[in-house]
Amino acid sequence: MKKTGFGLLAALGMKMASAAIIGNAASQALVAEGDALGAHGKFQAAVDKYSAAAKADPAASAPLSALAALLYRLSTGAAPEGVPKLRQQSEGMAQAALDIDGKDPVALEVQRMLADAKGPPLHQANPEAAALLEAGEVLFAQRQHAQALEKYLKAAQADPATSTPLMFAGDCYYVQEKWAEAEQLFAQAVRLEPLNAQAWRYLADALGQQGKLSAAEAALLSGIAAQPSQLPTWTKLASLRAQQGAPLQPLQLVRKARSRIDTATGKGVVEVESGGPQSPDMTVWIALAVSEANHMVEQHQGKSTESAFAMQLAAWADAMRVADGLGAGEGGELTSPSLKAMRMLAQAGQLEPAILLLQYKEAYRADLERWKAEHPNGVKKFVDMYGLRP
């Protein structure tokens, strides 16, 4: 589907943002105007509206995350020399939104796309359906929900293989608080395309509004299985689990050393965060990066055909062996909670799901699908057992 300014926001879950994120009435109205302008391709005017919305309610994150999404969308069609600046601006706006509200779903999804733009293999709407979706998005931005619903349903007929029209149609009912009708359409969407993580999250919202909490949790777990890197799904699951007295602990993995290939020489390069004394934690981070670099070089030289996930799994296994050696010798124990958690998971033989679920990249898709086939209900078992989230 062709992404317009508003279409991107809709796909990111903006239509179901909480009142605290959306802001006061004046800010909401300006954001809606910006959405409509973006849908018509009037991007500078949309930017102006979002900026005005931010001034109308400085406590609202929605104007900033909407602007972040629009800047990201513009970067996907920009000339190569203009992409870095747009991506940097998008990242800055997303972070500013999260500084206001750390659960803002649009800002979280923008951050995910900046880190890993590729999405799950969903069917892209054909031109006729895409045009109807675009028309529906304009109407939705103008709060003409009945007319938008008509366009979305026509889009679903025009291309029965895409789940997006059903998801958007369900949202027309959702915003009118017609929870059962919304549930029905969201359920159709996930039956059609089980990898549509956003549709699973929308379904969970509709179920939750009806008090169907067990079904809502199951939908969220299915959404995580569809695309583990979508943080809004984890956030909703964490909220639901917290209400049940079983909160999830964020892994908060922050790399201190990274690896890359020098394209000029074909050699691996390890970049280490500067500042601070050498520590057991840094030793492990460096070990992880060095192992990654070695695997990259082997692949670059044609000596290895490992998948991206297999390389990452092997690198973490190497790093955890270094961590074990530090603990057994005089190197000292780890202090980072995230590294301690990864070491615990490694010792429990859980590195594979830990990477697939807590550090997911779309390049791991084939390995994720293999793991899910080998471990039915594996996502729930992992969450129940370890209580961790990205």
pLDDT of residue 307: 95
The verdict on 100 and 72 lying in the same domain is yes
Burial of 107 per CB tally in 10 Å (0-12, 13-18, 19+): buried
- pTM to 2 decimals? 0.86
pLDDT of residue 15: 47
Q: Decide which of 115, 147, 173 is a domain's last residue.
A: 115
Per residue in 137-192, pLDDT tens? 889 888 899 999 999 999 999 999 999 999 999 999 999 999 999 999 999 999 99
pLDDT of residue 8: 45
Q: Is 28 domain-assigned?
A: yes
Q: Is 120 domain-assigned?
A: no
pLDDT of residue 18: 45
Provide the phi-psi class of 143: left if phi over 0, else alpha when psi is between -120 and 50, else beta: left
Rounded Cα distance, 72 and 14, in Å: 15
Residue 189: name the closest of 231, 148, 219 by CA: 219
Segments of the chain with pLDDT less than 70: 1-20, 275-277, 327-332
The verdict on 303 and 203 lying in the same domain is no
Per residue in 191-235, pLDDT tens? 999 999 999 999 999 999 999 999 999 999 999 999 999 999 999
Q: Is 252 domain-assigned?
A: no
User: In this structure, are residues 361 and 308 in contact, taking their beta carbons and an 8 Å threshold?
Assistant: yes
Q: How many CB atoms lie within 10 A of CB 150?
A: 17
Provide the domain limits for residue 378: 257-389
Q: Decide which of 247, 280, 310 is a domain's last residue.
A: 247
Q: Is 152 domain-assigned?
A: yes
The verdict on 348 and 274 lying in the same domain is yes
Structure tokens at 19: 């009142």
Q: Report the domain count for the chain.
A: 3
Rounded Cα distance, 353 and 192, in Å: 26
Rounded Cα distance, 203 and 194, in Å: 12
Q: Decide which of 67, 83, 115 is a domain's last residue.
A: 115
Domain containing residue 229: CATH number: 1.25.40.10
Q: Is 121 domain-assigned?
A: no
Per-residue b or e along 205-243, where b marks 16 or more CB atoms closer than 10 Å to that residue's CB: bbbbbeebeebbbbbbbbbbbbbbbbbbbbbbbbebbee
What is residue 248's three-state secondary structure? coil
The verdict on 111 and 23 lying in the same domain is yes
The verdict on 24 and 89 lying in the same domain is yes
The verdict on 162 and 232 lying in the same domain is yes
The verdict on 226 and 276 lying in the same domain is no
Single-letter residue type at 39: A
Rounded Cα distance, 304 and 66, in Å: 42
Residue 133: name the closest of 116, 109, 115, 149 by CA: 149
pLDDT of residue 1: 27
pLDDT of residue 141: 81
The verdict on 184 and 304 lying in the same domain is no
